[in-house]
């Protein structure tokens, strides 16, 4: 393999910077307005990866000086009980942001849950009102991972005007909202997905390629336009390449992009893990501050 040519986008650096800004802003809101932004995170069930994410959201909120509440509910929680918890949080004046960790157990209806969250406390940006606000360019609470990707692109590529952006994946949580954000940034946007014909050719047109499909290392080096910015949102667990470790059942996290190949061709690339992931929590806290300010009538 030749030397890597792509510049690495270290999400941890940008996430720490954002967390520092959020921490400052929380201190100012407390000092100047007596307002402490509060975030409630709800986890149903005992998925180990979700437990780690939820713990980190609580710890980071506290570290930023915010009020933090975590509701841990058993996997067999009935829909009615989950909805009751959300109604309670909607009515709680100390809570400005509500996040229900996904995926929910199969017995629960994610859409009904998202629909019940007060849109002005919907720091995940999953309520149809926020999706509509985003699509029409009104001030919205915007899903955290897509907003994190945009911060990384602005910090590295800079002005995105007129660039060709290809988003691979059309999920409500990532693919669709990031396409909207890229459009707002005056990119020419294509949303590709599992049914797209000749995906490699579509990807090769991209100055900005966002991979959010959930298929390990699917995007190959020869799908990438030389010099492109590649944002890998994928978090996929796969067996180790080393057969001894794989035989022991050990797994590791890889992205949707074949990093080894892609980093020979791209201009910028996020590692996975360590690229987009760290941004998500930082943006969640920023969204909670934004929600708190709007709810309190303080200029955002
Ligand atoms: N699970 C993985 N990512 C997310 C996210 O951004 N929000 C929620 N609610 N659940 C997730």
- Tell me the CA–centroid distance for residue 102 and ligand 1, in Å: 5
- Active-site residue, 101 included: yes
Q: Which listed residue (118, 122, 124, 256) is catalytic?
A: 124
Q: How far apart are CA 237 and CA 135, in angstroms?
A: 32
Is the full-model pTM beyond 0.85?
yes
- Active-site residue, 124 included: yes
CA distances from 93 to 24, 72, 89, 98, 287 (A): 22, 20, 8, 12, 17
So what's the pLDDT on residue 2? 53
Nearest atom in ligand 1 to 50's CA:
1
- Tell me the CA–centroid distance for residue 287 and ligand 1, in Å: 14
- Tell me the CA–centroid distance for residue 233 and ligand 1, in Å: 12
- Tell me the CA–centroid distance for residue 214 and ligand 1, in Å: 14
Which residues in the chain show pLDDT less than 50? 1
So what's the pLDDT on residue 299? 79
So what's the pLDDT on residue 1? 47
Binding-site residues, ligand 1, Cβ < 6 A: 99-102, 124, 144-145, 173, 280
Domains of the chain, CATH where assigned: 35-118 (3.40.50.10860), 143-278 (3.40.50.720)
So what's the pLDDT on residue 257? 98
Residue of minimum CA distance from atom 4 in ligand 1: 102
Task: Show Cβ contacts of residue 14 under 8 Å, excluding neighbours closer than 6 positions.
Answer: 151, 152, 155, 278, 279, 282
Which H, E and C letters describe the chain, residue by residue? CCCCCCEECCHHHHHHHHHHHHHHHHHHHHHHHCCCCEEEEEEECCCHHHHHHHHHHHHHHHHCCCEEEEEEECCCCCHHHHHHHHHHHHHCCCCCEEEECCCCCCCCCHHHHHHHCCHHHCCCCCCHHHHHHHHHCCCCCCCHHHHHHHHHHHHHCCCCCCCEEEEECCCCCCHHHHHHHHHHCCCEEEEECCCCCCHHHHHHCCCEEEECCCCCCCECHHHCCCCCEEEECCCEEEECCCHHHHHCCCEEEECCECHHHHCCCCCEECCCCCCCHHHHHHHHHHHHHHHHHHHCCCCC
So what's the pLDDT on residue 75? 98
Residue of minimum CA distance from atom 1 in ligand 1: 102
């Amino acid at each position: 393999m030749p030397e890597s040519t792509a510049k690495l986008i270290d999400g941890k650096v940008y996430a720490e910077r954002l967390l520092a800004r959020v921490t400052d802003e929380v201190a100012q809101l407390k000092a100047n307005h007596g307002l402490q932004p509060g975030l409630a995170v709800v986890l149903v069930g005992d998925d180990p990866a979700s437990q780690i994410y939820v713990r980190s959201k609580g710890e980071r909120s506290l570290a930023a000086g915010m009020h933090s509440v975590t509701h841990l509910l058993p996997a067999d929680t009935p829909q009615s009980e989950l909805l009751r918890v959300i109604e309670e949080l909607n009515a709680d004046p100390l809570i400005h942001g509500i996040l229900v960790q996904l995926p929910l157990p199969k017995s629960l209806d994610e859409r009904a849950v998202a629909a019940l969250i007060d849109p002005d406390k919907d720091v995940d940006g999953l309520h149809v009102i926020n999706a509509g606000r985003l699509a029409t360019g009104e001030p919205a609470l915007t899903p955290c991972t897509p907003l994190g990707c945009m911060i990384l692109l602005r910090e590295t590529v800079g002005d995105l005007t007129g660039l060709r952006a290809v988003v691979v994946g059309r999920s409500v949580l990532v693919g669709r909202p990031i396409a909207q954000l890229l459009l707002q940034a005056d990119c020419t946007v294509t949303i590709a997905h599992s049914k797209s014909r000749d995906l490699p050719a579509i990807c090769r047109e991209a100055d900005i390629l966002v991979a959010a499909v959930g298929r390990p290392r699917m995007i190959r080096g020869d799908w990438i336009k030389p010099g492109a910015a590649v944002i890998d949102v994928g978090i996929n667990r796969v067996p180790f390449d080393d057969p001894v470790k794989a035989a022991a059942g050990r797994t590791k996290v890889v992205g949707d992009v074949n990093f080894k190949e892609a980093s020979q061709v791209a201009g910028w690339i996020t590692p996975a893990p360590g690229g987009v992931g760290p941004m998500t929590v930082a943006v969640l806290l920023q969204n909670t501050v934004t929600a708190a300010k709007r709810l309190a009538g303080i200029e955002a």
